[in-house]
Structure 1
């Protein structure tokens, strides 16, 4: 009996670790593609005389992965709400790793012609489906195992995977980029993708040792599983849209700073590629620790308060970041992007805990995945594209890009404050310990 109790007490930490490791692998794979899209895929898979068209084609395949994410969210959300969080997550892990390793084996346009970019697009779609199902399940596996009153903190471990995945990706590409350019463009860029198989084995073993979510098990035992999770979710479509808006900055900000800024610094400011990647590595380390700190502060002083402060700072910070990056030194690039990262990572760390409890457990996987992944398709997939167009159109002026950044921060601020005010006014219905928040007047069923 004592052993059972000890195992039960260990499950929250084990679930948090499994969510962290799993999302680290998923985001390592996703960011590896993003980094390659910024510096490699254009000339190798979409060669041409126009730098802009080559970059847009490369970022276009990057965006395609985002547009596949809602499909993954609905597909694996259905599995997670009907069959179990854990089973869904094992499938997403396998799909992402296999797709990523296959990308590392692809022939380039020079060797295979048009079939090369077609295969790249197909594998990118599979990556998108995998990561679309991963986020919601990882957040829930950690959050639903959390001790009472600590959901936000435990759910943040799934968010930490974004920072650690980025760190590993930058490390991998940073080492590879130090090769002679001919070697890097020939085979060096493939190594970070092929290394994913090692991460898969580690993640699979750790995730296999975690029990199913206790909230899901309770629903299963009471026979209260949703028959049609998506259908039930869409009855609350207005709430889904508000949650989507609240997620915009957490997604768009990260992809502006971590992906577009690599292209902007190397392609438009002609800064050294290795120097930029080194700076982004230190920024990613900062992101990791800020996320840990923000989750702790939010658990102690209030999630809505931390989100509000981060979003307000985000509206201002691009007018500081971009001039610093344009100075072109290692220190100025690191400082500029780092200042933005404080807002982005603080916001991203706690937004999952903020929105997770807004839906009943029976549809929670589908609902939060749909809101987050549709937001990812729009805010994440299109942000590097729009920012690149702005850079091409208005360079050397940086103001249009700063206004673009501020606009999506303002949108998220409005959505967070709306949700926080409605909660404070008592307009949310609490269902047990899960805080399944349903704003009166938002649900079409109300």
Structure 2
């Protein structure tokens, strides 16, 4: 029993640390896209067009995530959760560091945005399997009576990654403007090598999960690549729909809203980053709380409450930003990103893992989740920027987020409640009866 608890602790820490470091790699691009990359890689177009182009390369990373989800998820279902998670951290760490040494448009012309897109695709491919793998590792190792709390390790890592990525950029923004544009923006990306080393060490120390080993012994037949879709079609579409509101708001606050503050309202870029840092610190505490509540009240009620609260907060959020008051701006981010959003993020982790059987859990979770990412979060900054440019106002953005929330509520109503589901027992082979003479 003590070894089981020790492995559960190691799995939780590996999920927290690994997810923090890997999503730092992915999110650092979003912060850079909102602040500097349009000037360095798309300098020949207007500021609005440059921002749109930069957010388009941001969306490209999401296009690779479903492919990474199904390929790396299937790998994790075949050879183990641990092996797959070590691979993802290498992929993302290398891609992020290479962005940090990438020549700009002034140095190599059109090849600069092309290479940026290639590295962004590699980042997205690795991210496609990372989060689902971290959640499954911690949920399968954790106390099965408190899977919501066990699954909260990985989403807490996502919150820490937002805090870390934004904080690092905030630090380098203290440099003189010319130095930041010459070399300061590169350092946060180069830190990806440090993240790679730490994450590799932590994840290498975790054992494979008992649920995976039991399933391997009980069912030695290799599962086809898209078996999760065929075995659990309802769960597959429920995950996609449930992602719409959660992922949309995930990229509204730390990406589009920061760009809105600086580009539209003309406020100092450090204010938006400071607001995201404070809100992310609140979110780190909120994730385990809402994960624990999902163990008591159920995954769907907590998730639905977070989705509705986020949608209702959208209008006050933009009104508080337009006030241009630093206190109001920070408060808007704290309520939206720090309180409403984690009520969706926390129960989602365990719920998505519980919707699939052990042999297809990682592939089904990762593939469906990343398709939802493409449809919602990946294009959110791009769509929101286009809507803002078209209307000159934020109200179409609020309507768009309301539509995403409606899709999520429909998916929540269609999905089952799973907090009491047994996910440890291996699949039972059907009984074969011999006819009696």
When the two structures are superposed, what TM-score results if normalisation uses the length of structure 1?
Answer: 0.92
| Cα offsets for 1:172-197 (capped at 9, x unmatched) | 10011111111111100001011121
Deviation at 1:433, TM superposition (A): 4.3
> How many residues are aligned here?
426
| Cα offsets for 1:5-35 (capped at 9, x unmatched) | 5333200111011011111011101110111
Aligned residue runs from structure 1 range 299-310, under 5 A: 299-310=295-306
Deviation at 1:299, TM superposition (A): 1.6
User: CA 1:401–1:217 in structure 2 vs 1: closer, same or farther (change >3 Å)?
Assistant: same
Deviation at 1:345, TM superposition (A): 1.5
Give the counterpart of 2:294 among 285, 295, 298: 298
1:140 and 2:136 equivalent? Answer: yes
Aligned residue runs from structure 1 range 80-229, under 5 A: 80-224=76-220, 226-229=222-225
Contact 1:315 / 1:406 at 8 angstroms: preserved in 2? yes
Contact 1:325 / 1:337 at 8 angstroms: preserved in 2? no
| Cα offsets for 1:277-323 (capped at 9, x unmatched) | 11111111112111121112222222222112112212211011010
- Match of 1:149, SS? helix
Correspondence for 1:264: 260
1:339 and 2:335 equivalent? Answer: yes
Correspondence for 1:14: 10
CA RMSD in angstroms comes to 1.9
How far apart are the structure 2 equivalents of 1:151 and 1:195? 33
Deviation at 1:151, TM superposition (A): 1.4
Contact 1:313 / 1:343 at 8 angstroms: preserved in 2? yes
User: CA 1:41–1:301 in structure 2 vs 1: closer, same or farther (change >3 Å)?
Assistant: same
Contact 2:89 / 2:196 at 8 angstroms: preserved in 1? yes
TM superposition outliers: structure 1 runs of 4+ over 2 Å: 5-9, 221-227, 231-239, 428-436
User: CA 1:429–1:297 in structure 2 vs 1: closer, same or farther (change >3 Å)?
Assistant: closer
Correspondence for 1:38: 34
Correspondence for 2:381: 384
How far apart are the structure 2 equivalents of 1:149 and 1:21? 23
How far apart are the structure 1 equivalents of 2:68 and 2:255? 22
Give the counterpart of 1:281 among 257, 274, 277: 277
Q: Choose 46-55 or 120-129, whichever is displaced more.
A: 46-55
| Cα offsets for 1:202-245 (capped at 9, x unmatched) | 11111111000111111122234543141342353343112210
How far apart are the structure 2 equivalents of 1:113 and 1:352? 42
How far apart are the structure 2 equivalents of 1:225 and 1:216? 14
How far apart are the structure 2 equivalents of 1:340 and 1:405? 13
- Match of 1:150, SS? helix
Deviation at 1:418, TM superposition (A): 2.4
How far apart are the structure 1 equivalents of 2:334 and 2:425? 35
Q: Choose 260-269 or 225-234, whichever is displaced more.
A: 225-234
Correspondence for 1:374: 371
User: CA 1:149–1:219 in structure 2 vs 1: closer, same or farther (change >3 Å)?
Assistant: same
Where does the alignment leave 5 or more consecutive residues of structure 1 unmatched?
437-446
When the two structures are superposed, what TM-score results if normalisation uses the length of structure 2?
Answer: 0.94
Deviation at 1:432, TM superposition (A): 5.6
How far apart are the structure 1 equivalents of 2:236 and 2:82? 24
Contact 1:233 / 1:366 at 8 angstroms: preserved in 2? no
1:355 and 2:345 equivalent? Answer: no
How far apart are the structure 2 equivalents of 1:413 and 1:259? 24
Correspondence for 2:390: 393
